[in-house]
A and B are shown apart, each in its own frame.
Chain A
Amino acid sequence: MGWEISSVARRFLLPVVELLAVLFLVSLGVFLLLSLVPGDPAVAVLGEGRTPAEYDALREQLGLNDPLMTRYGDWLGGVLTGDLGTSLVPPQTAVLDRITAALPVSLELAVLGLVMALAMALPLAMWSAYHQGGRADRAISAVTFGLLSMPSFLIGLILIAVLVNSLDIFPRNEWVRPGDGLAGNLSHAFLPALTIALMEAAMFTRILRNDLVTTLHEDFILAARARGMSPLRVMVSDALRPSSFSLVTVLGLSIGRLVGSTVIVEYLFSLPGMGKLVIDAANQGNYPVVQGAVLVIAVIYVGSNALIDRSYGLLDPRTRRARA
């Protein structure tokens, strides 16, 4: 019995404890880092040219005169009860409200981008792997390698130059919330999501193609072909699942890049998401907003990576044992 409990603890509790330790460190790091912000937050709030007494009163009110660790304790206590503080720069609303307004935009862009990337990558990778070494394979390999060398803002600018300015197909620089009409929302989200998707698609295609090429040499693929199954059927039903292992790993790693390109795309298309929130706050020295937003992003990031870690077992039964 004791053995069983400890094995359960090992499998489920240890990762959770590690996760919590990491998140604690992140919160500490974010807090300490932003307490080093040069300049006086009181000046940032009130503007210059007030009396020293006014600045002092505000500092007292913001708790800036307390020792650092007390302030961290207060902040963390607030975070755990859902209070991330208030924005220093007007409008002085709760940071949490700002984040809940911005987060859906970023999530939509990221998810849409990811889905589009997978929709492009799966067929391309299968085609490429099936014609391994052929002309199509080499062309796809060259194009994806080129795309990987392009920062997302460059891809975005090219898309704007081509699709918006010369063909005038897509709207730019506005955002329609899904509540105000899904069609309008999607037509505004399409181009930013495509910008995010192109780079990820390049990465996914390369990874999946390489794994598919290895899988296609396995005996069970030969057996399936010998039974007369069509190439497409073999690809989709036999080769895809065992080949998606690295893809899932890369998917986990790519979430970090995805967050980065979402930030850039939001800035480029001026969309009211988390990226814009953080950049504006960073430029204004509005540190409660930066702290809160970075923490929320880190929690989402770490959480999704932990989920992906757990999903290996679904894909490949062999790892269920190995990881226990």
Chain B
Amino acid sequence: MLAPEPVLVRRCDTRSALLVTGLLLLGAGSALALWASGTTVLVTLVRMLVLVVGIIAAIAGLGRLARAARGKPVDVVFWLGMTWLVLILGAAALAPWLPLGNHDDSVAGLTAPIFAQPGGLGADYPLGTNNYGLDVLARAVFGARTSILVALLAVLIGTVVGGLIGMVSGFVRGTTDRVVGILSNALLAVPPLILLIALGTVLDPSIRSIAFALSLLTIPSMVRLARANTITVAQREYVLAARALGANRMRLLLREVLPNVVLPVLSLAVVMISVLVVAEASLSFLGIGIEQPAPTWGNMIAEGQGGVMEENPYIVVVPGICLFLTVFSFNLLGERAQKRWDPRSAKL
């Protein structure tokens, strides 16, 4: 993510100096961030700035520690992101078996306090409750389950269908190619969110149909990428050689073209995951996606509207941070994947 730091050997780069400054930065940064997140002395704006400064200092400290341990610069942000992904994916996968509070039973929520403030670890409601008395931590974890499941399903459908169509149309060319081109242009002609809203009018708001709707967003760009790569690969000598050896079209596609198209398509798929997580969140934020009381990060953030956010910031902050960190981490992963597997399209 960050441009590589110029490697200069300075005197302060000795291992012990790195350890000491790293520990100091980490300690001071985390202390500052913790204080800023808890204090009520400052205005929101200043508080947020202090928080950001604290987090940056803590990450810089961690970077120094890692460098002292490994003996070379480490991309700490990337590894922090991957740690978050492992944590959130693990929690999402294991959600039903984790000791979590009530996430969607609003009848049982009647007996629970509403808008209980976050109590921290060990409290009855570690991250507080919402206006139905539902546990925000449990909702964030189950929300992750929905959001990520929907995005992964959609990417899977989009990659397989779009990739195959693109490969075939790039390989066969001719009329098929032209028809596929016009159809995918027509899908791209409606801005993504508008397409989703239009689909939302028709489809029932279940995980399956939202995943289907989202996959329609990924198909055209997958088709384009797979097609472009297939066209370049199909002109290579080894494909010609295979054809001369008597390989039929099926074999050419599967054995010669597919292995060379898979990696760029997969790297786009990783980037797509984060786009789709955002799209799903936007849809449920707008009240068109998965409906309350089933939690997703988007509809949890929507709960903060109408004055709730001002009284109980955690209602928005908890799902907001989950959403941001997840998208951020998938973006980091996607950027790495594109740099390695599809350097031409790694523009950002």
* Chain A positions near chain B (C-beta within 8 angstroms): 18, 21-23, 25-26, 29-30, 33-34, 36-38, 132-133, 137-138, 141-142, 145-146, 148-154, 157-158, 160-163, 165-167, 203, 206-207, 210, 246, 255-257, 259-260, 263-264, 267-268, 278-279, 281-283, 285, 287, 290, 294, 297-298, 301-302
Q: Which residues of B contact A158 (CB under 8 A)?
A: 48
A263 touches B193 (CB 8 A): yes
A294 touches B190 (CB 8 A): yes
For chain B, residues 201 to 216, give those with C-beta under 8 angstroms from any C-beta of chain A.
201-202, 204
Which of B22-30, B110-118, B158-166, B283-291 lines the interface with chain A? B283-291
A145-B1, A157-B316 as given contacts; A294 in contact with B186, CB under 8 Å: no
Given contacts A151-B281, A263-B286, 14 further A-B contacts (CB under 8 A): A25-B189, A157-B304, A166-B44, A167-B45, A207-B347, A207-B348, A210-B347, A257-B191, A260-B192, A278-B194, A282-B200, A294-B190, A297-B191, A298-B190
Q: Which residues of B contact A302 (CB under 8 A)?
A: 189
Which of B127-135, B248-256, B320-328 lines the interface with chain A? B320-328
Q: Choose one: A22, A263, A282, A301; the contact of B201 (CB below 8 Å).
A: A282
Q: Choose one: B43, B199, B328, B331; the contact of A33 (CB below 8 Å).
A: B199
A133-B3, A260-B192, A294-B190 as given contacts; A153 in contact with B202, CB under 8 Å: no
Chain B's interface size range is 35 or more
B198 touches A34 (CB 8 A): yes
A264 touches B286 (CB 8 A): yes
> Please, which residue of chain A has its CB at the minimum distance from the CB of B348?
A206
For chain B, residues 1 to 16, give those with C-beta under 8 angstroms from any C-beta of chain A.
1-6
Please report the C-alpha to C-alpha distance between residue A151 and residue B44 in the assembled complex, in whole angstroms. 20
* Chain B positions near chain A (C-beta within 8 angstroms): 1-6, 43-45, 48, 77, 182-183, 185-186, 188-195, 197-202, 204, 274, 278, 281-282, 285-288, 301, 304-305, 309-310, 313, 316, 320, 323-324, 327-328, 331, 347-348
> Please, which residue of chain A has its CB at the minimum distance from the CB of B274?
A149
Q: Choose one: A34, A149, A160, A298; the contact of B202 (CB below 8 Å).
A: A34
A145-B331, A167-B43 as given contacts; A298 in contact with B197, CB under 8 Å: no
Q: Which residues of A contact B197 (CB under 8 A)?
A: 263, 278-279, 282, 290
The B interface, classified by DSSP as helix, strand, loop or mixed, is helix
Q: Which residues of B contact A154 (CB under 8 A)?
A: 301, 320, 323-324
A138-B2, A161-B309, A297-B194 as given contacts; A260 in contact with B287, CB under 8 Å: no
Most chain A CB within 10 A, of B77, B195, B281, B327, is at: B195
> Please, which residue of chain B has its CB at the minimum distance from the CB of A293?
B194
What is the minimal beta-carbon distance from A156 to any residue of chain B, in angstroms? 10
Q: Which residues of A contact B1 (CB under 8 A)?
A: 141-142, 145
Q: Choose one: B194, B286, B301, B305; the contact of A259 (CB below 8 Å).
A: B194
Q: Which residues of A contact B287 (CB under 8 A)?
A: 279, 283
What is the minimal beta-carbon distance from B209 to any residue of chain A, in angstroms? 11
What is the minimal beta-carbon distance from B326 to any residue of chain A, in angstroms? 9
Most chain A CB within 10 A, of B6, B193, B309, B313, is at: B193
Please report the C-alpha to C-alpha distance between residue A152 and residue B285 in the assembled complex, in whole angstroms. 11
> Please, which residue of chain A has its CB at the minimum distance from the CB of B178?
A18
Sample of 26 A–B contacts (CB below 8 Å): A18-B182, A23-B189, A25-B189, A29-B190, A133-B3, A142-B1, A146-B328, A148-B348, A149-B327, A149-B328, A151-B281, A154-B320, A157-B301, A157-B320, A161-B44, A167-B45, A256-B188, A257-B191, A260-B193, A263-B193, A264-B282, A279-B286, A282-B197, A290-B198, A298-B189, A298-B190
Please report the C-alpha to C-alpha distance between residue A30 and residue B48 in the assembled complex, in whole angstroms. 44
What is the minimal beta-carbon distance from A32 to any residue of chain B, in angstroms? 10
> Please, which residue of chain A has its CB at the minimum distance from the CB of B288?
A282
Most chain A CB within 10 A, of B188, B194, B310, B320, is at: B194
> Please, which residue of chain B has its CB at the minimum distance from the CB of A157?
B316
Q: Choose one: B48, B182, B301, B328; the contact of A153 (CB below 8 Å).
A: B301
A290 touches B201 (CB 8 A): yes
> Please, which residue of chain B has its CB at the minimum distance from the CB of A146?
B328
A149 touches B189 (CB 8 A): no
Please report the C-alpha to C-alpha distance between residue A30 and residue B189 in the assembled complex, in whole angstroms. 11
Please report the C-alpha to C-alpha distance between residue A320 and residue B278 in the assembled complex, in whole angstroms. 38
> Please, which residue of chain A has its CB at the minimum distance from the CB of B320?
A154
A207-B348, A260-B191, A279-B197 as given contacts; A157 in contact with B183, CB under 8 Å: no
Q: Lowest 5 CB-CB distances: which A-B pairs, in order?
A: A260-B193, A25-B186, A149-B328, A166-B44, A259-B191
Q: Which residues of B contact A167 (CB under 8 A)?
A: 43, 45
What is the minimal beta-carbon distance from B190 to any residue of chain A, in angstroms? 5
Please report the C-alpha to C-alpha distance between residue A5 and residue B265 in the assembled complex, in whole angstroms. 40
Q: Which residues of B contact A281 (CB under 8 A)?
A: 201
Please report the C-alpha to C-alpha distance between residue A316 and residue B37 in the assembled complex, in whole angstroms. 50
A21-B182, A282-B201 as given contacts; A137 in contact with B44, CB under 8 Å: no
> Please, which residue of chain B has its CB at the minimum distance from the CB of A149?
B328
Q: Which residues of A contact B43 (CB under 8 A)?
A: 166-167
> Please, which residue of chain B has its CB at the minimum distance from the CB of A23?
B189
Please report the C-alpha to C-alpha distance between residue A60 and residue B191 in the assembled complex, in whole angstroms. 34
Q: Which residues of B contact A294 (CB under 8 A)?
A: 190, 194-195, 198
Please report the C-alpha to C-alpha distance between residue A257 and residue B305 in the assembled complex, in whole angstroms. 23
A153 touches B327 (CB 8 A): no
> Please, which residue of chain B has its CB at the minimum distance from the CB of A281?
B201
Most chain A CB within 10 A, of B185, B192, B327, is at: B185
Q: Which residues of A contact B6 (CB under 8 A)?
A: 133
B186 touches A29 (CB 8 A): yes
Q: Which residues of A contact B301 (CB under 8 A)?
A: 153-154, 157
B2 touches A142 (CB 8 A): yes
Please report the C-alpha to C-alpha distance between residue A303 and residue B278 in the assembled complex, in whole angstroms. 26
What is the minimal beta-carbon distance from B328 to any residue of chain A, in angstroms? 4
A151 touches B278 (CB 8 A): yes
A36 touches B202 (CB 8 A): yes
Please report the C-alpha to C-alpha distance between residue A260 and residue B1 in the assembled complex, in whole angstroms. 26
> Please, which residue of chain A has its CB at the minimum distance from the CB of B277?
A151
